[in-house]
């Protein structure tokens, strides 16, 4: 598989969560994407650290945790899982304290990552690139599933790819938001390594999850 698939658990059926996670593991996926929102940084609430830890204990898959919160430092101690080495993304929009938070993630044996919202210039990531193992590029406004991809999202992925090459670093590039099959093809061509799979490609209404996953894996392998 040339591009990694990170199922977005905010889109899952919480009644069957363990079965879904087992399905992903059996099919060779590597990542599980968790969105933690506080109702302030974005106007929504989702899962918290307790759920992340409980689900992570079910599986060998690596937690991919996206912190959409005003005060990530309040959440980091509860997300310390040295045995899992989770990817933890903090938003560049929180300002200068982002660098310290990335160091704190590394100190607790996590893998530091940076996230960026659509309205923020890609160049804002430059000071963080030497520190991060992944950059999460939002193709929609963070906070809700089911949105249309915003204009310029593909170009932003390409811009980031060029910027990392110039800086001599190679963090994973993750794309999140309206990841239809058509958009995944464009995102991968622009430089994305990881696709957050939500309602546009995996959790599709009227299609059994196993069938949707088979189709998505086959498509990703063809890229």
pLDDT in tens, 64-112: 999 999 999 999 999 999 999 999 999 999 988 999 999 999 999 999 9
User: What is the DSSP secondary-structure string of 108-131?
Assistant: TT-EEEEEE-TTS-GGGGGGGTTT
Catalytic residue among 13, 35, 38, 193: 35
Distance CA 202, CA 20 (A): 12
Q: Has 109 been annotated as catalytic? A: no
Q: Report yes or no: 131 and 113 within 8 Å, Cβ to Cβ.
A: no
DSSP H or E run through 174: strand 172-176
Please, which residues bridge with residue 136 across strands?
Answer: 115, 174
Work out the burial of residue 30: count CB atoms within 10 Å of its CB; fewer than 13 is exposed, 13-18 middle, 19 or more buried.
middle
Q: Has 35 been annotated as catalytic? A: yes
pLDDT digits 0-9 by tens, 32-70: 999 999 888 887 888 999 999 999 999 999 999 999 999
Catalytic residue among 38, 64, 176, 193: 176
pLDDT value at residue 142: 84
pTM > 0.75: yes or no: yes
* Every domain of the chain and the residues it spans: 4-222
User: What is the DSSP secondary-structure string of 13-28?
Assistant: -GGGHHHHHHHHHHTT
- In this predicted structure, the answer to whether residue 1 has a pLDDT above a threshold of 60 is no
Helices (H), the chain: 17-26, 49-56, 97-107, 153-167, 181-190, 209-222
pLDDT value at residue 42: 85
Please provide the CATH number assigned to the domain covering 4-222. Answer: 3.20.20.70
Question: For 177, phi and psi rounded to 5 degrees?
Answer: 125, 115
Report helix, strand and coil shares of the chain as percent, to nearest 5.
Answer: 40, 20, 40
Q: 36: which 2 tokens? A: 């933690």
When pLDDT is averaged across residues 113-136 and rounded to a whole number, the result is 97
């Amino acid at each position: 598989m040339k591009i990694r698939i990170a199922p977005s658990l905010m889109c899952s059926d919480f009644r069957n969560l363990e079965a879904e996670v087992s399905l992903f593991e059996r099919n060779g996926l590597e990542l599980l994407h968790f969105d933690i929102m506080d109702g302030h940084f974005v106007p929504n609430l989702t899962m918290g650290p307790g759920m992340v830890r409980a689900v992570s204990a079910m599986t060998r898959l690596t937690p991919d945790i996206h912190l959409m919160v005003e005060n990530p430092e309040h959440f980091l101690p509860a997300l310390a899982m040295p045995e899992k080495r989770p990817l933890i993304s903090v938003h560049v929009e929180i300002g200068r304290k982002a660098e310290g938070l990335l160091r704190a993630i590394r100190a607790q044996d996590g893998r530091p990552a940076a996230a960026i919202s659509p309205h923020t210039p890609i160049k804002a990531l430059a000071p963080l690139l030497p520190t991060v193992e992944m950059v999460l590029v939002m193709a929609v406004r963070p906070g809700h599933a089911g949105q249309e991809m915003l204009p310029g999202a593909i170009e932003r992925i390409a811009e980031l790819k060029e910027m990392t090459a110039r800086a001599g670093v190679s963090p994973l590039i993750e794309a999140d938001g309206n990841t239809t099959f058509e958009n995944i093809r464009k995102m991968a061509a622009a430089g994305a390594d990881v696709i957050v799979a939500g309602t546009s490609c995996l959790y599709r209404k009227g299609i059994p999850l196993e069938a949707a996953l088979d189709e998505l894996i086959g498509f990703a392998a063809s890229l």
